[in-house]
Each structure stands twice: as structure tokens, then as C-alpha cells.
Amino acid sequence: MGALKEIQPIKTGLKGEILIPGDKSVSHRSVMFAGLCDSEVKITNFLHAADCMSTVNCMRALGVKVKELDENTLIVKGNGFHGLQEPQSIIDAGNSGTTLRLMMGILAGQKFLTTFTGDASLSRRPMGRVINPLSQMGANIVGRKENKLLPITVIPAKESLQGIDYQMPMASAQVKSAILLAGMNAEGKTTVTEPYTSRDHTERMLEGFGVKLEKSGTSITISKVEKMTAPKEIHVPGDISSAAFWLVAGSIIEDSDIILKDVGINETRTGIIDVLKAMGANIELLNVRDEVEPIADIRVRYAKLHGTSFGADIMPRLIDEIPIITVASMFAEGETIITGAGELRVKETDRLQVITDEFNKVCPCIKGTQDGLIITGSQRNNLQKAVCNSHNDHRIAMALAILGASGVGIEIENSECVNISYPTFYEILTRFE
């Protein structure tokens, strides 16, 4: 069993400013795309967390130079679009689905062999959703259990990859990105269509690297690329998925008034703000500015929340925020009904199962359904101090911590997994105890 962490209840409202660490999705992509160019790229506000370091290690294994100027500043120097080199050993993607799935797309058209492993969680997660479309393009990728699971080997394809027109069965930025990245090495055009638009960081950032994309509704088309042109510098915005924990804490802890600094507010990511506002939250965007991604400071004040309902259409815009939205719903008046969340069953854990198993130890008010949750609210005075397990899922650990801090305290087993996306999380939380 990993570290047990005790979280104390927060007695007064949250006040002051919180600087939100760099976005995980953008950090991964910044190193990958810079590594496909031949000029030096400086990356600032890079998220120095375990998942993004899996990507750094992977790119290093493929011959890309990555220098760490300080914790959050990298200098990346690749060898050009066709310059990746054969790794000398197996690459460990750790806990990171984004590393593994996007890299499969990048490597599908390469002329050398790469084998990936990962931790116990990543080894359970479905990879057929990427391997199947890449195989249709002519890629040769093999994995355990009929090419669905790690370990996975990307073998050089016999002939050049061919573009496809692919209808994705689920909304997933990881799957979409893998296909687009493979499409950059494929003959003809590659089109992906999603049921709903997932986060579009790959599309925005590729355009920033001079790659042409055509967009129509939820479809994106890419053609073969010969060269990518890197910007000199990439500034990574703060991660709204990390800000989410403070958006909820500030909304449910009485007397709170906080400002979350430099948060990315790309509209494919801001579903949590829409849902919290629909619940009655007091959230204000300040100092909105536009870089490659839109950024703002976010002011959050305590508010009386009420229950809400939401489903599949908004799900890709808040896919990682369901654990913390569940916490908000426990404090809201009335019932919250979440549907269309089946994708949560294949995240770092089966999050629908883990939420019902662990959050109900604090207060038995959550019913799991096949593709969602039903939460009975108004539980502020019914919370018990329980020992809950994160199951090594970073977002579950942080949501449990906010649940405990907003209520009567909590003990969290396997608490150290916050290092996957937000290593300073507990440090900031204890500032408010």
C-alpha cells in the first residue's frame, strides 16, 4: 500500500491567489511536436509531473535532446520531421495514456521498431481503439490480447501508410490525435470524425507548427507532411483540469474568494465552468487574453449550489472533471444526474466504480449507473471521516482530498499518485488548513 495521507478540514474560506501548473495535454504535445522539428524550441510553464516526464523520456529514447533549464522550462532540439531514431531499449510510458496513444500515431509510419510497456493501470487500458484505425492505414502494431493491450510493439510497415476516412466510435482526443499524427506520414488525405468534438490542442498546435488542417463540423482532415516549422517558444497555459479542484473547493467552502491565475480556457475544456455555473456557482473570467490557447484568471466565490443534469454532448469538454464535479454535487441542493460518461470506465481506473465505492464511504449518496452517476445532494452535515483509497488514480485522490477538506477531514490511501498531474497539490491545500 502506498502513502496514507490525512487531510484536515478547512475551517475558513479559501482566500488569495493560486498559480495553476501547466496543462498536461499541452505539455505532452509541446515536447512531441518540438521533437519532430530541427530547430531549438523553448517550452515555458511545462508541467513537471510524472505523466509529462514519460513523454520527455520517450522522446529522449528516440534521439531528441531535451534539456531542463529549470523545473518548468525545457529546451527541445530534434533532428527534423524524419529524424527520430531507433530506441535502444523498451520505452516505459508509465501511467500515461496520452504518451502511449499519441506516440503510436507518430511511430506508425517510422522505419524502425519500438516496444512500449507501462504501469499496471496503463496495461489494462484499451489500445485497440488506436491500433485498429492505424492498422487500417497499413501500420503494423502488435500487442497482448489480440493487439488490444500493452506491451505493444510498433513494427515498420511494409509499405507507406495510406490515408483513411475514419468515423470514431467515441469522442477521444487521444484517438483523434493518434490518427492525425499517423496521417502526417500517410499518402493522400486522412480524415477523422468524432461524435462530439474532443479537446483540440493537437489541431491548434499543429497549425502553430505550420501544418495545414481542414475542419468541417466534427471532422478534421490532414495531408502528408514533409517538414514542420517550430515556433521559437511555447508557453503552456495553466491546466483547467487542475484548476477544477479549486473551482469546486472555492464554490463549496463558505466564505471563499480566490483567484486562479493563468488558466487555459480553450472551449473544448471548459465544460466544468458551464456545469458549475448551471449549478449556481459564482465564477468570473478576468484578464482574458489570447495566445495559441485562450487564457484567463478565474475568480471563484462561495455560492449555494443546486443539482443539475448533463450528458454525452458536454462530456468531452469535462471528461477528466467528473470526480470533482461529483464532490460539488454532494454539497449542492437536490439531485445531480450524470449520463453519457461510459468513457470513465476506461480511464486510469474505472472512475464510475471507484467514485461509488470510495466517495460513498464518506457519505452513501451516490448511485452508479451503466454510463453515469446519480448523486443525492445536501450532504454537508452528513459526512463522516473515512479512510478512502485513490486506487492510484490522481484525479480520484485530489477529489477525495477536496471532499475531506470541505467536510470533516479524510484519510487517503495511495495518496502520492497526485504526482501524475499535480505534484504540488497537497502543498497548496495545506496552505488553507
Instruction: Give the active site residue among 320, 350, 371, 393.
Output: 320
CA distance 261 to 195: 33
CB of 177 vs ligand S3P, minimal distance in Å: 6
Q: Is 320 in the site for ligand S3P (CB under 6 A)?
A: yes
CB of 87 vs ligand S3P, minimal distance in Å: 22
What are the C-alpha distances in Å from 352 to residues 356, 384, 415?
A: 6, 21, 19
Is there a catalytic annotation at residue 262? Answer: no
Q: Is 98 in the site for ligand S3P (CB under 6 A)?
A: yes
| CB of 162 or CB of 339, closer to ligand S3P | 339
DSSP assignment string, 40-52 = -EEEES---SHHH
Show contacts with ligand S3P in window 154-193 (CB under 6 A): 172-174, 177
Does 320 count as an annotated binding residue?
yes
CA distance 143 to 146: 7
CA distance 331 to 280: 12
Does 172 count as an annotated binding residue?
yes
| CB of 140 or CB of 219, closer to ligand S3P | 219
Does 22 count as an annotated binding residue?
no
| CB of 34 or CB of 319, closer to ligand S3P | 319
Taking CB under 6 A as the criterion, the residue among 14, 25, 317, 403 binding ligand S3P is 25
Show contacts with ligand S3P in window 41-60 (CB under 6 A): none
CA distance 90 to 51: 17
CB of 104 vs ligand S3P, minimal distance in Å: 13
Alpha-carbon torsion 318, 319, 324, 326, what sign? positive
CB of 145 vs ligand S3P, minimal distance in Å: 19
Which residues are within 8 A (CB) of 173 and not within 5 positions of it... i.e. 6 or more apart? 25, 198, 199, 200, 201, 202, 316
Question: Smallest Cα–Cα separation from 246: which of 303, 286, 298, 211?
Answer: 298
Residue length of the chain: 433
Does 129 count as an annotated binding residue?
no
Other Cβ atoms less than 10 A from the Cβ of 159: the count is 7
Taking CB under 6 A as the criterion, the residue among 343, 393, 413, 416 binding ligand S3P is 343
Taking CB under 6 A as the criterion, the residue among 30, 54, 95, 198 binding ligand S3P is 198
Beta bridge partners of 220: 192, 215
Does 29 count as an annotated binding residue?
yes
Query: Grid coordinates 473515512 are at which residue?
Result: 386
| CB of 26 or CB of 139, closer to ligand S3P | 26
Name the site residues for ligand S3P (rule: CB under 6 A).
25, 98, 172-174, 177, 198-199, 319-320, 343
Q: What positions carry a catalytic annotation? A: 320
Q: Write out the binding residues for phosphoenolpyruvate.
A: 24, 97, 125, 174, 351, 395
